[in-house]
Chains A and B, each alone.
Chain A
């Protein structure tokens, strides 16, 4: 027998031994399982939405760390997080939601409406409750097992339109608005609300333009818009394309001159970083407080952010998802209080956690969180902000966003 053959045989035997020993090692090393509360996070850490997904993912994982290490978990049970990077890919999100169901998670969350859309049908069929931090109206209409942490993109439009009419519009007749929308539910969620409410509020939607998440110039669409001489340009998008639109509007001399308003997915510190001084005076709707505001949860959140993810400081998406972590913990706390930890199932968590939320205060980070039958939006309040001296400054208190009577197929 030559040495090569001997080596091959030794290799095969070693491999067989390793395979055989793995279960034994697993059994021998296994410690007594402690009861944990499993939750699943489908995060767009990479991919085209990473500019938002990354700070949000960081925040929710930091918040879980805070809850487990400083608060001792929920009702003395540690939260076990199963998080996966969905890469903003629908097929991947579909496998992830199956994994989370299979892993015995009690609930799940996603950052974006697109990822929730890819997960929602599977979750609804399995009666597996979850909520999207940012959501489009179609996710919660009609209400099933999917919830929205905050008001949706349509609510942003409605809140901004009302604010504009009450506080900015001084002309005669009906103001002319143009919608500049991201080519996905983030953008078209705002259009859905405009279709339902614009006429009733007294606003003329004179044009609807769309852009992609990777746009590098909107000069062409803005030239068309300029010809219509609108009073308001409303952008429902993410920070990067919004920064392009704002900069192009300045280049064309449209802005300052018209009023620019943004939905909450556009309106973070990243917008100011990207477009700089061009954003001065731009309005935006956002459902949380701002960094440095005097609210109870601010100090701890800031401490964690500065310690673990200092680059995210100033990014409002971090606030949103820190609040998401607090909402997850409260849902679990309510469910344990109502049915006991041994009876926790996704269905019990929905019935006795989600549906028992009643004016829960997320440390003042956003509006109170309540469940209202027929309305799967958990928080229903937004605030209007304005960029002044490169700072995002709140200019209103909490504005209630009423349920818009959508009629989806």
Chain B
């Protein structure tokens, strides 16, 4: 971890600390104050956008562990999110069990199913593994659509609001607290996971799986662990999504969504904890921005209704292409450069 000039670590605890200086702690505190007082000054709409961002960060963090850290490309992430969403929906709606049971079961079920689809990862990798995870996307959605007695099939299933200890999370602000607390915990977990034995094994496998195996890393075991953790977080995100929207339909989990998640972690920066956060915020805000800009442009230039709606797909595609060309290491790398520059300022070297 980069530290300001003159700050040195004298013991192991200091070396391992995520928040090392007073400035770090002050910034963290400021972030939490701003984040958790947001419902006081943000309206329903921005809270709902924040909720969507929080849920997406959880899912993208899962994919980042799987793809960014362990190098196992998954194009079926939306399918694993669907598993979590429907597990939670069935548990809370049909079985009438508490939300927390649904949330945990959603993560576990998605994780276990992720492990099953992760089994081919021992034999295949890269493009071939990507194709096998696409199969997960299609198989999961097919099962959801046709297991009508449980999932409601094509008509979908309604999901009651999340409720913990008598507190029901109905309003956007109450859901905001629920989602943000879980998001913060997940990001903290991901940051620490990367520094554990498993995290280092993931990175070794990503960088050179043969070398990792020679070093004594059990590839099969660690790849399956990566699938479990990545899909567990997808399941948690799915559960939160289900209780946030209140109605689940398999059409909410498309292959395009799976690809979008990959786009998010690429734009944010693969293999970094902050990458998914930056990537998700960038993509989700871009989507929201486009929905505002289109009607605004039509008003300003008195264009015929619907004239500007094509800009959405164009801007989105352009953003991804530009990032891949100009900053393939993602926004997280830009953030690192900014921090380095800030620490050295006003000296350029």
Contact = CB atoms under 8 A, between A and B. Distances in A.
B249 A114 contact: yes
Q: Main SS of the interface on chain B?
A: helix
Contact of B154 (A62, A65, A184, A409): A184
Contacts of B251: 90, 114, 183-184
Contact of A46 (B45, B48, B157, B309): B309
Interface in A297-339: 308-309
B229 to A, nearest CB: 23
A258 interface: no
Given A94-B48, A102-B43, A58 B306 contact: yes
A261 interface: no
Contacts of B158: 121, 409
Interface in B280-325: 287-288, 290-291, 294-295, 304-306, 309-310, 312-313
B332 interface: no
Given A54-B306, A61-B305, A118 B252 contact: yes
A218 interface: no
A118 B313 CA distance: 21
A87 interface: yes
B48 A95 contact: yes
Contacts of B49: 95
B145 A183 contact: yes
B155 A102 contact: no
Nearest to A93: B245
Interface stretch (A185-193, A238-246, A361-369): A185-193
Given A46-B309, A85-B312, A309-B304, A92 B287 contact: yes
A188 B159 CA distance: 20
A308 B305 contact: yes
Nearest to B50: A95
A409 B152 contact: yes
A120 B305 contact: no
B52 A95 contact: yes
B162 interface: no
B305 A183 contact: no
Given A83-B295, A90-B252, A102-B43, A121 B309 contact: no
Interface string A117-145: 11011101100000000001010000000
Interface in B136-157: 145, 152-157
Contacts of B294: 45, 85
Interface in B169-204: 170, 172
| Residue among A62, A92, A187, A192 having the largest count of chain B Cβ atoms under 10 Å | A92
Contacts of B249: 90, 114, 117-118, 184-185
16 contacts: A87-B312, A92-B291, A94-B48, A95-B45, A95-B52, A95-B288, A98-B172, A117-B249, A118-B249, A121-B158, A121-B246, A122-B245, A183-B145, A184-B154, A184-B251, A185-B154
Given A98-B172, A183-B154, 8 more contacts: A54-B309, A58-B304, A62-B305, A82-B295, A87-B312, A98-B44, A125-B246, A185-B249
Interface of B: 43-45, 47-49, 52, 93-94, 145, 152-159, 161, 170, 172, 241, 244-247, 249, 251-252, 287-288, 290-291, 294-295, 304-306, 309-310, 312-313
